[in-house]
Chain A
Amino acid sequence: MAKIVAVTGNEAVANALRQVNPDVCAAYPITPATEMMQRFSSFVSDGKVKTEIILVESEHSSMSACVGASAAGGRVMTATSSQGLALMFEILYIASGTRLPIVMPVVNRALSAPLNIHGDHSDAMGARDTGWIQLWSENGQEAYDNAIQAFRIAEHMDIRLPAMVCMDGFIISHSIERLEYLEDDEVRNFVGEFRTLNPLLDLEHPVSYGPLILTDYYMEFRKAQAEVADKVARVTLDVAADFEKLSGRKYGLFDAYRLDDAEIGLVILNSAAGTSKDTVDEFRAKGIKAGLLKPRLYRPFPYREIGEALKHLKAVCVLDRADAFGGSFGPVYLDIATSLYAYKEKPVLINKIYGLGGRDYLPQHAELVLNELVEIVKTGAVKSNKEYIGVRE
Chain B
Amino acid sequence: MKLKNWKEVTPGAVITEAGSAIKFKTGSWRSSKPVWIEENCIQCLKCWLFCPDMSVKVKDGKRTEFDYEYCKGCGICALECPGKKGKKAIIMVEEGK
Contact = CB atoms under 8 A, between A and B. Distances in A.
Nearest to A97: B12
A289 to B, nearest CB: 46
- Using C-beta atoms within 8 Å of the partner chain, give the interface range for chain B: 10 to 19
A211 interface: yes
A220 B5 contact: yes
Contacts of B18: 206
A204 to B, nearest CB: 11
Contact of B12 (A160, A216, A223): A160
B4 interface: yes
A205 interface: yes
Nearest to B12: A99
B52 to A, nearest CB: 15
Contacts, number: 51
Given A206-B18, A223-B6, A211 B13 contact: yes
Nearest to A228: B11
- Using C-beta atoms within 8 Å of the partner chain, give the interface range for chain A: 20 to 34
A224 B14 contact: no
B9 A224 contact: yes
Contacts of B7: 224
Query: Main SS of chain A's interface residues?
Result: loop
B15 A207 contact: yes
A97 B11 CA distance: 9
A210 B5 CA distance: 19
A160 B11 contact: yes
A221 interface: yes
Of the listed residues B4, B10, B14, the one surrounded by the most CB atoms of chain A closer than 10 A to its CB is: B14
A197 interface: yes
Interface string B7-25: 1011111111010100000
Interface in A194-250: 197-198, 205-211, 213, 216-217, 219-221, 223-224, 227-228
Contacts of A224: 6-7, 9, 11
A217 B1 CA distance: 13
Contacts of A221: 6, 9, 13
B9 A208 contact: no
Contacts of A217: 3-4, 9, 13
Contacts of B9: 217, 220-221, 224
A24 to B, nearest CB: 18
Given A220-B4, A221-B6, A223-B6, A205 B11 contact: no
A197 B6 contact: no
B6 A220 contact: yes
Interface in A76-124: 97-100
Contacts of B14: 98, 198, 207-209
A207 B16 contact: yes
A206 B16 CA distance: 7
A39 to B, nearest CB: 32
A211 B6 contact: no
A221 B5 CA distance: 9
Interface string B36-52: 00000000000000000
Contacts of B11: 99, 160, 197-198, 224, 228
Contacts of B20: 208
Contacts of B6: 219-221, 223-224, 227
A98 B13 contact: yes
Contacts of B16: 198, 205, 207
A97 B9 CA distance: 13
Nearest to A198: B14
A73 to B, nearest CB: 12
B10 A198 contact: yes
B4 to A, nearest CB: 7
B12 to A, nearest CB: 3
A7 B5 CA distance: 50
Given A98-B14, A219-B6, A220-B6, 15 more contacts: A98-B13, A197-B11, A198-B12, A206-B18, A209-B12, A209-B14, A213-B13, A217-B13, A220-B3, A220-B4, A220-B9, A221-B6, A221-B9, A224-B11, A227-B6
7 contacts: A100-B12, A198-B12, A198-B14, A208-B15, A220-B5, A221-B13, A228-B11
